[in-house]
Amino acid sequence: MELFKTTRVYDFVRYSSYGLIVSMLVCAMSIALILIKDFKLGIDFAGGNIVQIQYTNVAPISQIREILSQRQDFGGFQVSEFGQPNEVLLKLPLLDEANQNNLSKLILEALAPSGEFEIRRTNSIGAKVGDEFKKKGIISIVLALLAMMAYISFRYEWRFSLAGIVALAHDVVIVSGVVIITDIDFSLEVLAALLTLIGYSINSTIIIFDRIREQMLLYRAKDMRFVINEAVSCTLSRTLLTSFTVFLVVLTLFLFGGEIIRGFSLPMLVGVVIAAYSSMFVAPKLAIVFGFNLDEYYKKEAQKRKKAEEKRLLRKMYEGGVV
C-alpha cells in the first residue's frame, strides 16, 4: 500500500537544519525539567503502598484527604480519581510492620465515615526493592542503546551508528520531559514504554539507513544530500503508514485502557510521533553533521570487495588442488 503514487524527492536535508534547532531547544527544556523538577517516582521505584478503592456512589475525595491528613502514619499520601468518579487511588508511605500487614483493615477502619466502598487491590513495594528496580531500569536502557550502537556500527558505519544513537537519546529525552510535564509517576509501565520506544524508533531509522546504503552502492552517487533526500522520500509512505497505524493502536489504549495503563500509553503516544520525526529529520542529518564522506565510504567498500575476491580466488585454488 502506498500513500503516494509517484515518488517525489523532497528536500528533507534542508528542513532537517531547522528540525535540529527545534530538537536541541526541546531537548534542552526536557533536560532542564529532569535536572530541576525530576521524575515523580512511582511506588515501583520509591517504595510504598497503592490502594485502589471503589465507592458505591461518587467518591468524596476531599473528605478522604481530610481523614488521611489527620493520621501521622499516612504522611505524604496522595489521593486521585482513578478512571471513574467512584474509584480512587491512594498512594501511601510504607508503614510499620504491624500496620503494614493489616493495611486493608486499617484503610477500611480509617475511611469508614466517608461512605460505602470496597478495596479493589493493594500493592506494596519496599524501599530496597524500589531502589533495585531503579538501578536495573537505568542499566537496561543503557545496555539497549549500547547494543544497538554496536549493531549499527557493524552493519553500516560508525557515523551512522552515532547518529542513530543520538536520535534515540533525543526521543527518550523528549518523552521523559513529557512524562514530567504531565505529572505521570515514573513506574515500570513508563520504563516499559521507553524501552519499547527505543526498539520502535531504531527500526524506523534502520529502514531509512538501509535505503541510504542501497542508494550509495547501487548508483554510486556523489551528493550525500541527494542520497538522503531520495532514501527518506522513497520510504515516506512506509514511515507514515506504520507510524499512523501504531498511533491508532496506542491512542485506543490511551482512551479506553484506563488509568492503570496510562503510564505506558501516553509516553508511547508521544513517542510514536517523535520517532517518526527523528528517523526522517534528525538521524540522517546527523550522519552529515558527524562528517560522513561518500568518497571514503566507496574506498572502504572497494577494499572490502577486493579482499573478498582475493579470498574467493584462494578458496577456488585450494578446492582445485592448487597450492
pLDDT at 74: 75
Rounded Cα–Cα distance for residues 188 and 171 (Å): 18
pLDDT at 304: 75
DSSP lists the bridge partners of residue 88 as 53, 81
Rounded Cα–Cα distance for residues 141 and 149 (Å): 12
Residue-wise over 276-312: b if at least 16 C-beta within 10 A, else e?
bbbbbbbbbbbbbeeebeeeebeeeeeeeeeeeeeee
pTM for the complete prediction? 0.77
Question: How many other CB atoms are there within 10 angstroms of residue 89's CB atom?
Answer: 18
pLDDT at 128: 67
Mean pLDDT in runs of 10 for the chain (323 residues)? 62 86 93 87 76 88 85 75 84 74 82 86 73 77 79 76 88 92 85 88 87 75 79 87 92 83 90 92 87 73 75 74 54
Q: Which three cell numbers stand for residue 31?
A: 533536560
Question: How many other CB atoms are there within 10 angstroms of residue 184's CB atom?
Answer: 20
pLDDT at 321: 57
pLDDT at 152: 74
